[in-house]
Amino acid sequence: MGRSSKDKRDVYYRLAKEGGWRARSAFKLLQINEEFDLFTGVKRVVDLCAAPGSWSQVLSRKLIEERKEESEEANDAKIVAVDLQAMAPLPGVIQLQGDITKVSTANEIIKHFEGEPADLVVCDGAPDVTGLHDIDEYIQGQLLLAAFNITSHVLKKGGNFVAKIFRGKDVDLLYSQLKLFFPEVTVCKPRSSRNSSIESFVVCLNYSPPDGYTPTMANPLLNQDLDYSSLQGINRVVTPFMACGDLNSYDSDMTYPLQLEGEKEYQQLPPTQAPIKPPYQTACDMKKKNLLQNEQSNVKESSKDIVDDEK
Protein backbone atom coordinates (compact mmCIF):
# COMPACT_ATOMS: atom_id res chain seq x y z
CA MET A 1 0.00 0.00 0.00
CA GLY A 2 1.42 3.41 -0.96
CA ARG A 3 1.82 6.18 1.63
CA SER A 4 -0.80 8.39 -0.03
CA SER A 5 -3.44 5.66 0.07
CA LYS A 6 -2.69 5.10 3.79
CA ASP A 7 -3.04 8.88 4.29
CA LYS A 8 -6.48 8.62 2.66
CA ARG A 9 -7.57 5.51 4.53
CA ASP A 10 -6.31 6.58 7.98
CA VAL A 11 -6.79 10.23 8.80
CA TYR A 12 -4.97 9.92 12.14
CA TYR A 13 -1.92 8.50 10.40
CA ARG A 14 -1.89 11.60 8.17
CA LEU A 15 -2.56 14.01 11.05
CA ALA A 16 0.22 12.41 13.13
CA LYS A 17 2.75 13.17 10.41
CA GLU A 18 1.41 16.70 10.00
CA GLY A 19 1.60 17.33 13.76
CA GLY A 20 5.10 15.87 14.08
CA TRP A 21 3.92 12.94 16.23
CA ARG A 22 5.94 9.73 16.03
CA ALA A 23 2.81 7.57 15.96
CA ARG A 24 -0.94 8.04 15.52
CA SER A 25 -1.31 6.77 19.14
CA ALA A 26 -0.56 10.34 20.30
CA PHE A 27 -4.20 11.22 19.54
CA LYS A 28 -5.42 8.47 21.86
CA LEU A 29 -3.70 10.04 24.89
CA LEU A 30 -4.72 13.55 23.81
CA GLN A 31 -8.36 12.47 23.50
CA ILE A 32 -8.33 10.62 26.83
CA ASN A 33 -6.89 13.78 28.41
CA GLU A 34 -9.70 15.90 26.89
CA GLU A 35 -12.13 13.82 28.93
CA PHE A 36 -10.16 13.34 32.17
CA ASP A 37 -7.83 16.35 32.45
CA LEU A 38 -4.94 14.11 33.43
CA PHE A 39 -2.10 16.64 33.43
CA THR A 40 -3.23 19.48 35.69
CA GLY A 41 -0.86 19.77 38.67
CA VAL A 42 1.13 16.77 37.49
CA LYS A 43 4.95 16.84 37.67
CA ARG A 44 6.24 13.28 37.71
CA VAL A 45 4.99 10.90 35.04
CA VAL A 46 5.97 7.40 33.96
CA ASP A 47 5.30 6.30 30.39
CA LEU A 48 5.43 2.49 30.30
CA CYS A 49 5.91 0.73 26.95
CA ALA A 50 6.71 4.06 25.39
CA ALA A 51 8.44 3.35 22.05
CA PRO A 52 8.48 4.88 19.49
CA GLY A 53 7.48 7.72 21.80
CA SER A 54 4.32 9.54 20.73
CA TRP A 55 2.80 9.41 24.24
CA SER A 56 6.10 10.71 25.66
CA GLN A 57 5.90 13.50 23.08
CA VAL A 58 2.42 14.41 24.33
CA LEU A 59 3.72 14.41 27.92
CA SER A 60 6.77 16.48 26.99
CA ARG A 61 4.67 19.04 25.11
CA LYS A 62 1.99 19.32 27.81
CA LEU A 63 4.16 19.24 30.93
CA ILE A 64 7.29 20.98 29.71
CA GLU A 65 6.89 23.00 26.50
CA GLU A 66 3.40 24.43 27.09
CA ARG A 67 4.20 25.27 30.72
CA LYS A 68 7.40 27.02 29.65
CA GLU A 69 5.36 29.15 27.25
CA GLU A 70 2.87 30.01 30.02
CA SER A 71 5.35 30.91 32.77
CA GLU A 72 8.97 31.91 33.20
CA GLU A 73 9.29 29.79 36.35
CA ALA A 74 11.69 26.86 36.39
CA ASN A 75 9.97 23.76 35.17
CA ASP A 76 10.55 20.77 37.41
CA ALA A 77 8.40 18.24 35.52
CA LYS A 78 10.01 14.83 35.08
CA ILE A 79 9.01 12.18 32.56
CA VAL A 80 10.48 8.69 32.64
CA ALA A 81 9.79 6.53 29.59
CA VAL A 82 10.39 2.78 29.60
CA ASP A 83 10.38 0.27 26.77
CA LEU A 84 12.04 -2.97 25.79
CA GLN A 85 13.11 -1.20 22.63
CA ALA A 86 15.41 1.76 22.21
CA MET A 87 13.75 5.11 21.49
CA ALA A 88 15.09 8.24 19.81
CA PRO A 89 15.68 11.04 22.40
CA LEU A 90 12.94 13.54 23.30
CA PRO A 91 13.30 16.86 25.14
CA GLY A 92 12.91 16.43 28.90
CA VAL A 93 12.23 12.68 28.71
CA ILE A 94 14.49 10.27 30.61
CA GLN A 95 14.61 6.99 28.74
CA LEU A 96 15.08 3.54 30.23
CA GLN A 97 15.43 0.44 28.15
CA GLY A 98 13.86 -2.26 30.30
CA ASP A 99 11.18 -4.80 30.92
CA ILE A 100 8.12 -3.67 32.86
CA THR A 101 7.71 -7.13 34.36
CA LYS A 102 10.94 -6.66 36.38
CA VAL A 103 11.23 -5.09 39.83
CA SER A 104 14.65 -3.73 38.82
CA THR A 105 12.81 -1.51 36.30
CA ALA A 106 10.57 -0.14 39.10
CA ASN A 107 13.69 0.62 41.15
CA GLU A 108 15.35 2.40 38.21
CA ILE A 109 12.25 4.59 37.74
CA ILE A 110 12.11 5.52 41.43
CA LYS A 111 15.82 6.40 41.36
CA HIS A 112 15.12 8.99 38.67
CA PHE A 113 12.40 10.60 40.79
CA GLU A 114 14.89 10.82 43.67
CA GLY A 115 12.71 8.66 45.88
CA GLU A 116 9.51 10.64 45.23
CA PRO A 117 6.53 8.75 43.82
CA ALA A 118 4.92 9.53 40.45
CA ASP A 119 1.69 11.52 40.00
CA LEU A 120 0.63 9.65 36.90
CA VAL A 121 1.52 6.37 35.17
CA VAL A 122 0.44 5.67 31.60
CA CYS A 123 0.91 2.42 29.71
CA ASP A 124 0.17 1.79 26.06
CA GLY A 125 1.86 -1.61 26.18
CA ALA A 126 0.93 -4.29 23.71
CA PRO A 127 2.48 -7.67 23.05
CA ASP A 128 3.17 -8.85 19.51
CA VAL A 129 -0.32 -9.90 18.41
CA THR A 130 -0.63 -13.55 17.28
CA GLY A 131 -4.11 -13.27 15.77
CA LEU A 132 -5.39 -15.95 18.17
CA HIS A 133 -7.80 -13.79 20.15
CA ASP A 134 -7.83 -15.79 23.39
CA ILE A 135 -4.04 -15.85 23.56
CA ASP A 136 -3.70 -12.18 22.63
CA GLU A 137 -6.23 -11.17 25.28
CA TYR A 138 -4.49 -13.29 27.89
CA ILE A 139 -1.04 -11.86 27.13
CA GLN A 140 -2.39 -8.30 27.07
CA GLY A 141 -4.01 -8.98 30.47
CA GLN A 142 -0.68 -10.18 31.85
CA LEU A 143 1.07 -7.06 30.52
CA LEU A 144 -1.58 -4.89 32.15
CA LEU A 145 -1.02 -6.70 35.46
CA ALA A 146 2.74 -6.16 35.11
CA ALA A 147 2.05 -2.46 34.42
CA PHE A 148 -0.18 -2.31 37.48
CA ASN A 149 2.44 -4.06 39.65
CA ILE A 150 5.13 -1.61 38.62
CA THR A 151 2.64 1.23 39.14
CA SER A 152 1.98 0.05 42.70
CA HIS A 153 5.72 0.57 43.38
CA VAL A 154 5.98 4.05 41.88
CA LEU A 155 2.58 5.80 42.06
CA LYS A 156 1.66 8.13 44.92
CA LYS A 157 -1.61 7.63 46.82
CA GLY A 158 -4.24 9.67 44.99
CA GLY A 159 -2.33 9.34 41.69
CA ASN A 160 -3.82 8.14 38.40
CA PHE A 161 -3.12 5.22 36.07
CA VAL A 162 -4.10 4.88 32.41
CA ALA A 163 -3.51 1.65 30.50
CA LYS A 164 -4.40 -0.10 27.30
CA ILE A 165 -6.74 -3.05 27.78
CA PHE A 166 -8.24 -5.57 25.36
CA ARG A 167 -11.98 -5.73 25.91
CA GLY A 168 -12.32 -9.50 25.61
CA LYS A 169 -14.78 -11.81 27.27
CA ASP A 170 -12.97 -12.10 30.62
CA VAL A 171 -12.13 -8.42 31.00
CA ASP A 172 -14.55 -7.96 33.91
CA LEU A 173 -12.09 -9.76 36.17
CA LEU A 174 -9.43 -7.15 35.39
CA TYR A 175 -11.87 -4.30 36.07
CA SER A 176 -12.75 -5.83 39.44
CA GLN A 177 -9.08 -6.26 40.34
CA LEU A 178 -8.34 -2.63 39.43
CA LYS A 179 -11.38 -1.48 41.44
CA LEU A 180 -9.70 -2.88 44.56
CA PHE A 181 -7.01 -0.22 44.17
CA PHE A 182 -8.77 2.68 42.44
CA PRO A 183 -12.24 3.86 43.51
CA GLU A 184 -12.91 5.18 40.02
CA VAL A 185 -12.26 2.95 37.00
CA THR A 186 -13.57 3.92 33.56
CA VAL A 187 -13.03 2.19 30.26
CA CYS A 188 -12.76 4.51 27.32
CA LYS A 189 -12.35 4.22 23.59
CA PRO A 190 -10.83 7.32 22.00
CA ARG A 191 -12.12 8.28 18.55
CA SER A 192 -8.63 7.68 17.15
CA SER A 193 -8.72 4.01 18.22
CA ARG A 194 -10.19 1.96 15.39
CA ASN A 195 -13.59 0.42 16.01
CA SER A 196 -12.32 -2.79 14.49
CA SER A 197 -9.66 -2.98 17.22
CA ILE A 198 -10.39 -4.75 20.50
CA GLU A 199 -8.26 -2.14 22.33
CA SER A 200 -9.67 0.31 24.86
CA PHE A 201 -8.11 2.17 27.77
CA VAL A 202 -8.77 1.92 31.49
CA VAL A 203 -8.57 5.23 33.30
CA CYS A 204 -8.05 4.49 36.99
CA LEU A 205 -8.29 7.50 39.30
CA ASN A 206 -7.21 8.18 42.89
CA TYR A 207 -4.85 5.31 43.76
CA SER A 208 -6.02 3.97 47.13
CA PRO A 209 -4.39 0.60 47.91
CA PRO A 210 -6.07 -1.41 50.68
CA ASP A 211 -4.56 -0.81 54.13
CA GLY A 212 -1.42 -2.89 54.60
CA TYR A 213 -0.98 -3.69 50.90
CA THR A 214 2.67 -4.28 50.02
CA PRO A 215 3.52 -3.77 46.35
CA THR A 216 4.76 -6.94 44.69
CA MET A 217 5.86 -7.87 41.19
CA ALA A 218 4.70 -11.43 41.81
CA ASN A 219 2.00 -12.76 39.58
CA PRO A 220 1.00 -16.01 41.26
CA LEU A 221 -0.19 -17.37 37.90
CA LEU A 222 3.22 -16.95 36.30
CA ASN A 223 5.70 -16.92 39.12
CA GLN A 224 6.22 -20.51 40.15
CA ASP A 225 9.15 -19.62 42.42
CA LEU A 226 6.95 -17.38 44.54
CA ASP A 227 7.48 -18.03 48.26
CA TYR A 228 3.89 -17.80 49.52
CA SER A 229 5.00 -17.65 53.12
CA SER A 230 6.65 -14.29 52.32
CA LEU A 231 3.21 -12.82 51.56
CA GLN A 232 1.70 -11.18 54.62
CA GLY A 233 -1.43 -9.28 55.63
CA ILE A 234 -3.82 -8.39 52.84
CA ASN A 235 -1.35 -9.77 50.24
CA ARG A 236 -1.94 -13.24 51.56
CA VAL A 237 -5.30 -14.85 50.92
CA VAL A 238 -5.62 -18.30 52.40
CA THR A 239 -8.66 -20.26 51.26
CA PRO A 240 -9.83 -22.61 54.03
CA PHE A 241 -9.21 -26.31 53.39
CA MET A 242 -11.47 -28.70 55.26
CA ALA A 243 -11.47 -32.49 55.66
CA CYS A 244 -15.09 -33.75 55.66
CA GLY A 245 -16.63 -36.92 57.04
CA ASP A 246 -15.76 -39.11 60.02
CA LEU A 247 -11.96 -39.32 60.29
CA ASN A 248 -12.34 -42.95 61.52
CA SER A 249 -14.05 -44.05 58.28
CA TYR A 250 -12.23 -45.99 55.51
CA ASP A 251 -9.13 -44.38 53.98
CA SER A 252 -9.61 -44.11 50.20
CA ASP A 253 -5.87 -44.66 49.59
CA MET A 254 -5.67 -47.94 51.53
CA THR A 255 -6.23 -51.51 50.21
CA TYR A 256 -8.57 -53.54 52.45
CA PRO A 257 -9.31 -57.32 52.46
CA LEU A 258 -12.52 -58.28 50.64
CA GLN A 259 -13.99 -59.51 53.89
CA LEU A 260 -14.21 -56.39 56.01
CA GLU A 261 -13.97 -56.87 59.75
CA GLY A 262 -17.35 -56.79 61.47
CA GLU A 263 -19.24 -56.52 58.12
CA LYS A 264 -21.61 -59.05 56.47
CA GLU A 265 -20.15 -61.77 54.21
CA TYR A 266 -18.48 -60.45 51.03
CA GLN A 267 -20.43 -60.99 47.81
CA GLN A 268 -19.42 -59.55 44.43
CA LEU A 269 -22.17 -57.32 43.02
CA PRO A 270 -22.55 -55.66 39.62
CA PRO A 271 -22.41 -51.85 39.54
CA THR A 272 -25.73 -50.31 40.59
CA GLN A 273 -25.95 -48.47 37.28
CA ALA A 274 -23.84 -49.76 34.40
CA PRO A 275 -22.52 -47.04 32.03
CA ILE A 276 -24.81 -46.44 29.05
CA LYS A 277 -23.07 -47.25 25.75
CA PRO A 278 -19.46 -46.76 26.98
CA PRO A 279 -16.79 -46.27 24.30
CA TYR A 280 -15.09 -49.56 25.36
CA GLN A 281 -18.26 -51.62 24.69
CA THR A 282 -17.08 -52.81 21.25
CA ALA A 283 -13.80 -54.06 22.75
CA CYS A 284 -15.70 -55.90 25.51
CA ASP A 285 -17.98 -57.59 22.95
CA MET A 286 -14.96 -58.59 20.84
CA LYS A 287 -13.25 -59.97 23.92
CA LYS A 288 -16.36 -62.06 24.70
CA LYS A 289 -16.16 -63.51 21.16
CA ASN A 290 -12.40 -64.08 21.60
CA LEU A 291 -11.61 -61.79 18.70
CA LEU A 292 -9.15 -59.43 20.32
CA GLN A 293 -6.13 -61.73 19.78
CA ASN A 294 -6.73 -62.25 16.04
CA GLU A 295 -4.97 -60.68 13.05
CA GLN A 296 -5.57 -56.98 12.49
CA SER A 297 -7.62 -57.64 9.32
CA ASN A 298 -9.89 -60.15 11.14
CA VAL A 299 -10.41 -57.69 13.92
CA LYS A 300 -11.39 -55.00 11.44
CA GLU A 301 -13.93 -57.30 9.76
CA SER A 302 -15.39 -58.58 13.02
CA SER A 303 -15.64 -55.17 14.59
CA LYS A 304 -17.53 -54.08 11.47
CA ASP A 305 -19.95 -56.99 12.08
CA ILE A 306 -20.39 -55.96 15.69
CA VAL A 307 -20.99 -52.35 14.72
CA ASP A 308 -23.51 -53.56 12.08
CA ASP A 309 -25.20 -55.73 14.75
CA GLU A 310 -25.49 -52.72 17.02
CA LYS A 311 -27.24 -50.58 14.40
Q: Given the rule CB under 6 A, which residues bind ligand SAM?
A: 22-23, 25, 49-55, 82-85, 99-101, 124-127, 143
Q: How far is the CB of 132 from ligand SAM (least distance, A)?
A: 17
How many other CB atoms are there within 10 angstroms of residue 285's CB atom?
18
Measured CA to CA, the distance from residue 209 to residue 38 in angstroms comes to 20
Active site annotation includes 102: no
Q: What is the CA radius of gyration of the chain?
A: 31
- Counting every residue written for the chain, the total comes to 311
Q: State how far the Cα of 244 lies from the Cα of 193, in Å rounded to an integer.
A: 54
Which one is catalytic: 28, 62, 78, 164? 164
The distance of closest approach from Cβ of residue 44 to ligand SAM in the complex, given in angstroms and rounded to an integer, is: 18
In the complex, the smallest distance separating the C-beta of residue 81 from ligand SAM, rounded to whole angstroms, is 9
Q: Which is nearer to ligand SAM, 27 or 285 (CB)?
A: 27
Query: Residue 159 — φ and ψ, nearest 5°?
Result: -75, 175
- Least Cβ distance, residue 42 to ligand SAM (angstroms): 17
The full 3-state SS of 16-68, as one line of letters, equals HHHHCCCCCCHHHHHHHHHHHCCCCCCCEEEEECCCCCHHHHHHHHHHHHHHH
Question: Whose Cβ is closer to ligand SAM: residue 84's or residue 307's?
Answer: 84
Give the nearer residue to ligand SAM in terms of CB position, either 51 or 77.
51
- If the CB atoms of residues 87 and 185 are measured against ligand SAM, the closer one turns out to be 87
The answer to whether residues 63 and 42 touch, using CB atoms and an 8 Å cutoff, is: yes
Which residues belong to the active site? 164
